[in-house]
Amino acid sequence: MLKLFLISKEEAFHICDKSQYQESTLGEKFKLRFRYLWCSTTRVYVNRNCKLTKTLKSSNLECLEHNERKLMEDRLNEQLKNQM
């Protein structure tokens, strides 16, 4: 029965990353919380991941649209061709 809840550190990290995007199942979340109780490495990873997520959500980052990015890439490639 206990083996059902024991997961590797890498699997815990993967579940943590999935939880960040609401892609983890209830069972995975339970396994992660169980490992969180006794593994200091997992605790550090989960806490850093939560802090990073909160920081990114509150930063109000603005990204380029696909067409703007493509235009910049084309201009850069054109300038590189002209230099050669």
> What CA–CA distance (Å, rounded) separates 40 from 9?
10
The beta-carbon contacts of 45-48 under 8 Å, at least 24 apart in sequence, are 45/12, 45/13, 45/16, 46/16
Closest CA to 6 of 37, 24, 31, 43: 31
**Number of Cβ within a 10 Å radius of residue 33:** 14
Q: What is the mean pLDDT of the chain?
A: 89
pLDDT of 4-17, one tens digit each?
778 898 999 999 99
Taking only the tens place, the pLDDT of each residue in 36-72 is 999 999 999 999 999 998 998 888 888 889 999 999 9
Q: How far is C-alpha 5 from the chain's CA centre?
A: 23
Total-model pTM: 0.67
What is the predicted pLDDT for the residue at 39? 92
